[in-house]
Amino acid sequence: MRSPTLIAACLCALTTSTYAQQTHTDLSITHTFQDAEQSSTFPILIDTPANFDHTTHHAVFLYHGGYLSDPHWTVPGSYTQNDEVIHITIDGQPTKDADTIAQALVNTGYAVVRYGSIHTDPDPDALPRPISFPQTVELASLVWDKALEELDITPDHCITLGHSLGAARAIITAPNAAGHIILAGAYITPTMHSPHKLVRDAPQSSADYDQSGSTEPFESAAYHAINNNQTRTHPSFTNNNHSYDWPSDILIENQTPTLALWGSLDATSYHAPVLAHLYNEANLESKLTTHYFHTLGHNLSAEENGRIDKIDPAVIDSITDWLIKHYPNE
C-alpha cells in the first residue's frame, strides 16, 4: 500500500515538553496519497508517563471515528445555521473525549498515541480535504509505524482503542497488536452495513442481550441476524473499491484479547451480540469481554433530544480496569 512513489516522507518532531510528571510530544507526518495533487500534513500526539519503560510498559493507540477528526476527537458545542444557534452537545460546550481518555490512561501508566486526519494547510482559508476510508487506513498505518519507532516499542506491547469506524480501522491497521478496545464499533462483523436498515427490517422478537429488562432496537436486529443465519451477508469489508478482512475475522484468527463497549441506545450496537456469537462459534469466549451501558448512545455518553455529552466516566473506568487486568505495566 505504501510505495515510495506515493509517499512524501517528511516525519519530524516539533516539540517535546514535560508536564506533571509526563512527557508530551508533538509530531507531524507529511504524506502524498495516490492521485493527490499535493501532500498533506497530519498531527500526531504522544504522551508518556514518568519512568515509562518501552520493554515492560504498554502503549495505547487511539483511532477516531468517521473519516475526519483532530487528535482530540473534538465535537463542537454548537454551530450557526441561518442565524440560529444549533447545539450539538447537551451543555453547549465542545467535547474532547480523546483528551479525557488519554489523561486517564497516562495516569494509569500507559503511553498514549493520538493523531488527526484533518490536514494542516499553508492557506488559512483552505477547507480540509476529505479522504476516503482506504486513505484513512493508509494514514493510520503510517502513524502506527512512526509511533512504534518514536516509542521504541514492539506491537506486542501495544493496544488499539478505536471509536465507531475507528475500531474497524484500528483492527485492520494493526492486526498484530497485543489487544484491541472497541468503543461502539461500526463495520465490525459481516452483517448488513446499515444498522438502521437492519433495525427497521427486524421483527420485534428479540433477546435481552444487555440484560436491561427491556428490548432495544439493536437487540431485535442482532437477534434477527443470528437466528436467520445472516451474520455473514458480505464476504469482505469493501469500501471505495478496496476490500479488507472483516475485523471480527481478524480478531478471531489472531485470538486477540478484546474489550468491546457498547451503548444500548445505539443502533450500531447490533454488532455486539453478533460478535459474541461469532466468538462462541470459534470457542473463544474467554478472549472477548463485552459490556453494555444501558443509558448511553453511540458516543458512549448520555443523550438528550439528539444532543450528546462527554464520554461517561464509567466507560473510562471499564477501559482502565481491563487494561490493568490484561496488560499490567511491570
Q: Which CATH number fits domain 10-189+244-326: 3.30.565.10, 3.40.470.10, 3.40.50.1820, 3.40.50.150?
A: 3.40.50.1820
Q: What is the pLDDT of residue 330?
A: 76
pLDDT in the model for residue 35: 80
Mean pLDDT of the chain: 89
Please return the burial class of 262, using the count of CB atoms within 10 Å of its CB with bins 0-12, 13-18 and 19+: buried
Task: State residue 240's pLDDT score.
Answer: 85
Whole-number pLDDT of residue 308 = 96
Q: In what order do the strands lie in the sheet with 288-293?
A: 10-19, 22-31, 40-49, 111-115, 59-63, 158-163, 179-183, 258-263, 288-293
pLDDT on residue 9: 32
Q: Specify the pLDDT at position 163.
A: 98
Q: 258 near 182, Cβ under 8 Å?
A: yes
Task: Identify the weakest region by mean pLDDT among 118-122, 164-168, 171-175.
Answer: 118-122
* pLDDT one-digit tens code per residue, 192-205: 656 667 667 666 66
Q: What's the confidence (pLDDT) of residue 12? A: 36
pTM for the full model? 0.91
**Annotated domain spans of the chain:** 10-189+244-326
pLDDT, average across residues 66-74: 95
Give CA angle at 98 (175, 145), nearest 5°.
35
The DSSP symbol for 106 reads H
Residue, of 224 and 10, whose pLDDT is higher: 224
Predicted pLDDT of residue 199 = 67
SS3 133: helix
Residue predicted with more confidence, 76 or 37: 76
User: Could you tell me if 267 and 195 are in contact, meaning their C-beta atoms sit under 8 angstroms apart?
Assistant: yes
Output Rg (C-alpha) for the chain, integer angstroms.
20
**CA gap 274, 176 in Å, rounded:** 23
pLDDT at 98: 98
Least confidently predicted of 4-13, 99-108, 196-205? 4-13
Give the pLDDT score at 128. 73
Q: Is the pLDDT of residue 42 over 70?
A: yes
Beta bridge partners of 237: 244
Residue 160's pLDDT is what? 98
**Section 96-116 average pLDDT:** 97
Residue 180 CA to residue 159 CA, distance in Å, equals 6
pLDDT at 192: 64
What pLDDT is stored for residue 129 in this prediction?
A: 74
CA distance 59 to 39: 29
Give the pLDDT score at 39.
Answer: 86
* pLDDT at 215 (0 to 100): 85
**Assigned C-alpha cell, 142:** 503510517
So what's the pLDDT on residue 1? Answer: 38
Q: How confident is the model at residue 26 (pLDDT cuts 50, 70, 90)?
A: very high
pLDDT digits (tens, 9 = 90+) for 235-278: 999 988 899 999 999 999 999 999 999 999 998 999 999 999 99
DSSP state letter for 78: E
